Amino acid sequence: MPLESTPESPLPVRTVARAIGEWIGRLGRVWVEGQVTELSGRAATAFLTLRDPVADVSLRITCPRAVCETVQPPLAEGARVVVWAKPDFYLMRGTLSLTAYDIRPVGVGALLARLEQLRQVLAAEGLFAAERKRPLPFLPGTVGLVTGRDSAAERDVVENARRRWPAVRFRIEAVAVQGAYAVSQMLDALARLDTDPAVDVIVLARGGGSVEDLLPFSDEALCRAVAACRTPVVSAVGHETDTPLVDHVADRRASTPTDAGKLVVPDMAEEVGRVEALRQRTWRCLHARLDQEQRSLDALRSRPALAAPVADLDRRAADIGGHVERARRCLAARLDGDHGQLQQLRARVGALSPAATLERGYAVLQKPDGTVVRDPAEVSAGETLTARVAGGRIGVRVTE
């Protein structure tokens, strides 16, 4: 039941603290899993902080020394453990802590089983699907690098990338890559790099280590953050045999940090050689095309129509001259024949013409209307006639 209080009748601190202690005490003993971040103690009691590996939440643990000493391997900072504890609220200090009655380390087998279960969940959600992964840029302007401070992984990535492309730029985010704060620091670094428009690709790098050392790179929150990044992410964690879950989520997996330096930038020597090879290929193709066109032009020029274009005209002119000469001869022969026929016809006409008779001294009498007088009865005395003679016409009058 809630405590009843008013501004006029407030509750004393001891009453509220006692009520809080009673409510917390009802929880009973529970099994809690977490990561040991702080470990200290006195002769009879040990104190440690149990932190959630995903969220930034921790609880103070009070443990009898005898319970701590039974844990094998011995407790150390960064260890994953399962604690059987009871929550207690201390009235004097107003603090909450857990009193541990049993501590069990999380073995490698259990960790691997949980990782396999998480892998199946992420795969079912499509975070490992190849179609959602983006290609890396050919030549990134700036490479974001999330790795340990002054680590060998950082040197491997930077030196190999600059050996291949000396002008490459890096934005390095130094974070913890193992331990209690590794996941939260890597999440913050990824968020900063993903929001930087100058960063074209992000490399998540770390050297080799044990399964426990690489556990942060199989954290669910980190895997989901990598999948949600708008910038392509390259995972370069451990050696070739190490495959944390972030390798499956990242857009590209590099077997080692050295391989990551080779993946994010092209090799300048190879690109120069490729450009030179393309230039040589272009030069050969151009020369081959020019040679082909020259051969085609030579073939066209060697054809008779282009080699001696006037020869055909000369032949045509000779043909035309022959036809003209033939036409001239035919016309002359035809004219000569027709002229002979005309002479014959003229002689015949002349022989039959009245003019020939007139030439012999005869005359033809015609009336004014041109009618030829054939009989004296056709005219009368006093009528005017025309006498046509060989030399012309004579007007005559009939007297009788």
Q: What 3 state SS string does 375-391 have?
A: CHHHCCCCCEEEEEECC
The SS3 assignment for 124 reads helix
Write the Ramachandran bin of 146: left for phi over 0, alpha for psi from -120 to 50, otherwise beta: beta
pLDDT at residue 108 is higher than 60: no
The SS3 assignment for 193 reads helix
% of the chain residues with pLDDT over 70? 95
Tens-place pLDDT, residues 224-259:
999 999 999 999 987 777 778 888 999 999 988 989
Q: How far is residue 103's CA from residue 172's CA, in Å, rounded to a whole number?
A: 39
Q: pTM higher than 0.75 for the full model?
A: no
Number of residues written out for the chain = 400
Residue scoring higher pLDDT (378 or 187): 187
Say which range, 126-130, 231-235, 271-275, 389-393, has the weakest mean pLDDT: 389-393
Instruction: Give the chain's mean pLDDT.
Output: 85
pLDDT at residue 201 is higher than 90: yes
- Which pLDDT does position 308 carry in this prediction? 75
Secondary element (H or E) of residue 366 = strand 364-366
Say which range, 34-38, 172-176, 232-236, has the weakest mean pLDDT: 34-38
Contact 82, 103 (CB under 8 A): yes
- Which pLDDT does position 1 carry in this prediction? 58
Residue scoring higher pLDDT (157 or 181): 157
Residue scoring higher pLDDT (193 or 347): 193
- Which pLDDT does position 112 carry in this prediction? 67
- Which pLDDT does position 275 carry in this prediction? 92
- Which pLDDT does position 54 carry in this prediction? 62
When pLDDT is averaged across residues 357-363 and rounded to a whole number, the result is 75
Q: How far is residue 204's CA from residue 152's CA, in Å, rounded to a whole number?
A: 13
pLDDT at residue 3 is higher than 60: yes
pLDDT at residue 44 is higher than 60: yes
Residue 285 — very low, low, confident or very high, per pLDDT cuts 50/70/90? very high
Tens-place pLDDT, residues 111-120:
667 777 888 8
Contact 199, 171 (CB under 8 A): yes
The strand ranges marked E within the chain are: 30-41, 45-51, 58-64, 80-90, 95-105, 142-147, 169-174, 199-206, 233-237, 252-253, 364-366, 384-389, 392-397
pLDDT at residue 179 is higher than 80: no
Contact 127, 227 (CB under 8 A): yes
Structural domains of the chain, ranges and CATH numbers in brackets: 13-106 (2.40.50.140), 112-268 (3.40.50.261), 354-397 (no CATH)
Tens-place pLDDT, residues 296-346:
988 888 877 777 777 778 888 889 989 999 999 999 999 988 888 898 888
